[in-house]
Amino acid sequence: MATFFRGLLFLFVFYGTLITNAQECERQRNLQEVVVTGTRTAKRLSEAPVLTTVVRARDMVKAGTVSTLEALEDNIPGLVSEPNVMGNNLRIKGLNSRYILFLVDGERMVSEGAGGNVNLNQIDVGNIERIEVINGAASALYGSNAVGAVINIITKEPSRKFEGGANLQYESHNTIRAKVDAGTNLGKFKSRIDIFRHSSDGFGADGKGAYAAKYEDFGGNLKLGYTPTQRVDMKLTGRYFRHETFNTAGSLNSAHPLTHTVSAGFNGTYSSADSRYTVCGSVHFDKYFDADYLEKLAVDNLKGTATYISSRILNTFRPSHRWEIVAGIEQNREQNYATKTLGATPTTKNIDDSNLFGQAQWTPSKDFDVILGARYTYNSQFRSAFTPKVSAMYRLGGFTFRGGVGSAFRAPSIKELYYDFDHQGMFWIYGNPNLKAEMGLYNSLSAEYTRCGFNVSLSGYWNNIDNKITQYDLINSSGGNEKHYRNVSSATLVGVDVNLQYALLREVIIKGSYSYCDARDNSTGRQLSDNVRHSGTMSATWNGNIARSPFSLQLAGRMNSPKLYRLITATGSDRLLESKPYNIWKVVFVKPFRIDKHALELTLKLDNIFDFKDASFINPGRQYLVGVRYSFK
């Protein structure tokens, strides 16, 4: 066996010497790609002081990606998803959506419930330029919820004078995805619009396995940009999303869920003549409507709304090539309106917070960077929070070393604070207005090595969360069941991540990642619900040619060790179960055809090749997809 591995290592090194110049150029382009999430300013990926995972549009095309969720599952090990009517309930390394901050072009997406769920389907994957993911605490830059991870979805900008396209996909279970887009770049004026419609018959209505309801989505995205001078830039954005799920045939329900999300934002930037100063002002509005559609009456019955309004002024000052100082002020308002969940009568509750934040990056030499940052938050509910951070990066030859210590917090949601809700007569849920903010402390250290077409990174982290908010049961004097919230526990996450990318021979790109995470509830000593200790992703992409005509063929998989999950039965019993370990693999073939400015792209995908199914995963089993994309530039 040892001889086998030595031989495998020899082949690996030998083939590494055969990497072509084209692949080296591709790798260098990736390292020079600009990212913004880790610092709120544009940095080349190779120079970003925070280790950042980037999922690019071209990678999603070759992977046959149909949703933002699939893009994350393919590239972020340790991610577990449990979609429900309120969106994508994600867990990354044991922490659920409440501890993950979701951004679109740097602006917060409104949370759709006490669980922090966000429906990621409101961003059509064809409109995504890239997704940037950073692990750990980022509250110094982004405030509440940036405890476990920050996921920033960067949408596309028009690059040609006139461009456009259309996309149509058909998948198993009569799942249809259609999209059209158009854009223009006339120098001073830019615009892009895309409109999409997704629908599916769902699966599992026979009660023999996992279940997903029939649904229909409709949405659109608009971006307008105006650059009157080289020093002034203005952008206006808008987004609309409608999500409707339907009851199964024969259902006795007289209504089905219907939700809407509306977003609008303005961003203006001014730069000084010498580019030493850049001032950016922005206002962003995001609102979610939750309703039941009454089928016989054909009207909507509004259940509640969730609103998030943010305004910000950000100043970037570069006094010399060794210093960059970012400082800003921010005002946020979160508002919930509910007809029942916040009391017997319709009620509106608000939380406001005011913020001062700053960050200084010092570069004493070309190979060494130090960052100091902090945010002060005054919250109308829990008063004050101070979240400092320090990080450093050092480059030595092909190695890049990064390390940092940062604090983070999660403000309790309005529903956790003010719930007053009779859950269909089965139990009452009560909020707790005296809840404290959860506080996190994140420590990380990483090493990255890059040479030619080879890139590998190893990172370790320790994340401790205090004042963790927990829901508990209480039997009242009448024998009734009540559920309450309180700060009763802490959690500690310790783990190691490994990421690898390798260009093999002339045409094959291999990517892999592995994550180990020990995520414990310190009050019980048990693993956090839905944490998986061992997880990984892997893909091998062949970028080939047939008669000088390009194509790509990819085999990709994701693997998870067993996870613990709760199963609550109709009789009220609550059991802790363990899922099966799983390997889910897919194969994707993409063939582009190009004639002058016109391009046609065919995608064939077989997903979940081995038909994996388990009660703890909402997965329909093996699926087939055919897609056609047309574009012109």
* pLDDT value at residue 576: 66
Kindly state the average pLDDT of the residues 498-517. 92
Please report whether residue 369 resides in a domain. Answer: yes
Exposure of 249 by Cβ count < 10 A (0-12 exposed, 13-18 middle, 19+ buried)? exposed
More confident residue, 577 or 129: 129
* pLDDT value at residue 22: 41
Task: Flag whether pLDDT at 249 surpasses 80.
Answer: yes
Q: How confident is the model at residue 563 (pLDDT cuts 50, 70, 90)?
A: confident
Kindly state the average pLDDT of the residues 397-425. 92
Please report whether residue 11 resides in a domain. Answer: no
Please report whether residue 15 resides in a domain. Answer: no
Q: Of the given ranges (54-68, 114-128, 397-411), which has the lowest mean pLDDT?
A: 114-128
* pLDDT value at residue 27: 45
More confident residue, 311 or 451: 311
Q: How confident is the model at residue 505 (pLDDT cuts 50, 70, 90)?
A: confident
Task: Flag whether pLDDT at 488 surpasses 90.
Answer: no
Task: Flag whether pLDDT at 229 surpasses 70.
Answer: yes
Backbone angles phi, psi at 630, to 5 degrees: -115, 140
Using one digit for the tens of pLDDT, what is the confidence trace for 193-202?
Answer: 999 999 999 9
Q: How many distinct helices (H) and strands (E) make up the chain?
A: 6, 36
Of 362, 449, 377, 418, residue with least CA distance to 143: 377
Kindly state the average pLDDT of the residues 58-64. 95
Task: Flag whether pLDDT at 442 surpasses 70.
Answer: yes
Q: How confident is the model at residue 18 (pLDDT cuts 50, 70, 90)?
A: very low
Please report whether residue 4 resides in a domain. Answer: no
Task: Flag whether pLDDT at 20 surpasses 70.
Answer: no
Kindly state the average pLDDT of the residues 8-21. 38
Please report whether residue 26 resides in a domain. Answer: yes
Q: What is the mean pLDDT of the chain?
A: 88
Please report whether residue 424 resides in a domain. Answer: yes
Q: What is the CATH number of the domain that holds 260?
A: 2.40.170.20
Using one digit for the tens of pLDDT, what is the confidence trace for 526-536?
Answer: 888 788 899 99
Q: How confident is the model at residue 2 (pLDDT cuts 50, 70, 90)?
A: very low
| Residues in CB range of 77: below 8 A, 6 or more apart | 497, 513, 514, 515, 535, 536, 537, 558
* pLDDT value at residue 571: 53
Q: Where are the beta strands (DSSP E) in 6-124?
A: 34-35, 43-44, 53-56, 79-81, 90-92, 95-96, 100-104, 107-108
Q: Of the given ranges (24-38, 227-241, 599-613), which has the lowest mean pLDDT?
A: 24-38
Q: Of the given ranges (218-232, 318-332, 394-408, 472-486), which has the lowest mean pLDDT?
A: 472-486
Range of the domain at 108: 21-207+235-296+306-632
More confident residue, 574 or 327: 327
Please report whether residue 218 resides in a domain. Answer: no
Kindly state the average pLDDT of the residues 317-323. 94
Using one digit for the tens of pLDDT, what is the confidence trace for 348-388?
Answer: 999 999 999 999 999 999 999 999 999 999 999 988 999 99
- Paired tokens of 226: 């105006």
Give CA torsion, residues 459, 462, 468, 470, to 10 deg.
70
- Give the predicted TM-score (pTM) of the model: 0.92
Using one digit for the tens of pLDDT, what is the confidence trace for 169-209?
Answer: 999 999 999 999 999 999 999 999 999 999 999 988 776 66
* pLDDT value at residue 565: 66
Half-sphere exposure of 391 (CA within 13 A, CB side): 29
Task: Flag whether pLDDT at 153 surpasses 80.
Answer: yes
CA distance linking residue 261 with residue 539, whole number of Å: 34
Please report whether residue 215 resides in a domain. Answer: no
Exposure of 580 by Cβ count < 10 A (0-12 exposed, 13-18 middle, 19+ buried)? middle
Task: Work out the angle at residue 574's Cα, subtended by the Cα atoms of residues 572 and 576, and round it to the nearest 5 degrees.
Answer: 160
Of 535, 511, 491, residue with least CA distance to 78: 535
State the total domains in the chain: 1
- Paired tokens of 61: 């095309």
